[in-house]
Amino acid sequence: MRKRWIGLVLIIWALVLPSQVYGSGSGTTAASFLKIAVGARATAMGEAFSAVVNDTTSLYWNPAALVQVKDREFSATYNQWFAEIYQGYLGAALPVWGGTAALGVNYVNMGKMEGRDEWGEPSGEFSAFDRQVSVGYGNQISPRLGVGLAVGLIESNIADDLKSAYSGNLGVLFSLSESVSLALVGQNIGTSLGTDSLPFTIRGGAAVKSGSLILAADLVNPSDEPVYYCAGLEWWLGKMLALRLGYRSNRSIGSGVTAGLGIHKGKVRFDYAYVPYGELGTTQRVSLSFKF
């Protein structure tokens, strides 16, 4: 059974990744909201999260990390973006069939906008939103190796123009030891949204855990942007409070530095992230999760 799982993963990687890499070019992708990081903890750590994630946001960062979700869990994230734009994420996970299954909804609401006709005259307000509904499953196929797959439906709506596409994330998580983990993820593998491809991305990551400290790094290769890297750390002061710091390179706006904290009490965790964007101001994200 384990050999079948490994073979299936390798076949999928071999079939879908080359077609995604060579099928997209710079400036040709749609569904840009998929580039907005999900979760306050991940954001505070500079998005260096593919080998660290262990909650419902695994559907976004690395479906294989669902193997690290051992309890039933529900989470919600709110991100006040710029102007009247906000992002949210709702996720639920359930250990089942020897692994863990999850459901996630990632959405961006752009509020009301003033429409104009062909002569530039006001034509009334209209709304716009993007959303992705995903389901996924992760399983431990050997003592050191976990694999996971998430599939989803993407919808993008501007006024009465609704477009849709199917997407998938495929990941592996390998434990070199109890303190060192490696990750490899293919994000946004899917069909076109209208005439443009999804922002396919290959993400590789590593994490080192030493006592109360976690150090992490991701190398990210998007199909429509230059390669960039992410680095982050998390330091737990006792069992209740975590301090976080991160950096993401190649950010066109802002310094790329992020910060945040986490508060853990029993089966409840609250996370906060602070992300400065230079002259545009700052964005702040909060997440709340429950285990039951």
Rounded average pLDDT over 34-50: 96
272 in Cβ contact with 86 (< 8 Å): no
pLDDT per residue over 161-202, tens digit each?
A: 889 999 999 999 999 999 999 999 999 999 999 888 999 999
Whether the pLDDT of residue 252 is over 90: the answer is: no
| Mean pLDDT value across the chain | 87
269 in Cβ contact with 263 (< 8 Å): yes
159 in Cβ contact with 115 (< 8 Å): yes
CATH code of the domain containing 43 = 2.40.160.60
Q: Which of 69, 49, 70 is nearest to 60 (CA)?
A: 49
pTM for the model? 0.87
Range of the domain at 146: 2-291
Per-residue confidence (pLDDT) for residue 5, from 0 to 100: 44
Q: How many domains does the chain have?
A: 1
